[in-house]
């Protein structure tokens, strides 16, 4: 019979405080960059004519006034339109403090971009303006 030899259990390597701090910094920078880019995306002009909150509210009132008098299929479409309109109103009411987001972005963008290898043109393609990149000290020339 074979005897089993005791196996050595490997001790899990522990991360140094420096490594933990670097990971935390990277996560925080990523959050800041994501928030700023999301705000840029949300503020991006959309195709077509924008409806005012008043026009949206009027259309919701029209739907409410006529929904009970329509056939079942039309009622279904009106309920869906009302949901879309209410969502559009909620989005329009959200106020985003872009100045604060931009300030945070400028503070971290350069180190984040250098660490991740993000070029000036990549920042531009996702909507970051040249003025913001200049504030963040991100230049076109690399090297």
pLDDT in tens, the chain (143 residues): 556 666 677 777 788 989 999 999 999 999 999 999 988 887 776 777 778 889 999 999 999 999 999 999 999 999 999 999 998 888 766 666 788 999 999 999 999 999 999 999 999 999 999 999 999 999 987 54
User: d(Cα 106, Cα 112) in Å, to the nearest integer?
Assistant: 10
Structure tokens at 30: 């990523």
User: d(Cα 57, Cα 15) in Å, to the nearest integer?
Assistant: 56
What secondary structure letter does DSSP report for 70? S
User: d(Cα 94, Cα 55) in Å, to the nearest integer?
Assistant: 18
pTM of the model: 0.61
pLDDT given at position 143: 44
Q: If you count them, how many residues does the chain have? A: 143
117: three-class secondary structure by DSSP: coil
Q: Are the beta carbons of 138 and 110 closer than 8 angstroms?
A: yes
Going from the C-alpha of 65 to that of each of 48, 53, 75, 77, 83, the distances in angstroms are 27, 18, 12, 15, 15
Structure tokens at 78: 């009106």
Structure tokens at 2: 């074979």
Start-to-end C-alpha separation, the chain: 66
Burial class of residue 51, CB neighbours in 10 A (0-12, 13-18, 19+): middle
């Amino acid at each position: 019979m074979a005897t089993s030899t005791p196996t050595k259990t490997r001790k899990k390597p522990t991360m140094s405080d420096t490594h933990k701090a670097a990971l935390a910094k990277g996560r925080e920078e990523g959050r800041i960059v994501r928030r700023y880019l999301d705000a840029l995306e949300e503020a991006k002009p959309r195709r077509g004519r924008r409806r005012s909150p008043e026009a949206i509210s009027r259309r919701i009132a029209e739907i409410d006034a006529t929904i009970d008098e329509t056939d079942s299929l039309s009622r279904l479409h009106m309920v869906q339109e009302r949901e879309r309109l209410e969502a559009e109103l909620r989005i329009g009411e959200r106020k985003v403090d872009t100045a604060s987001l931009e300030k945070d972005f400028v503070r971290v963008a350069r180190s984040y971009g250098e660490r991740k290898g993000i070029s000036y043109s990549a920042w531009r393609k996702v909507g970051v303006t040249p003025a913001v990149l200049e504030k963040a000290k991100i230049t076109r020339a690399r090297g």
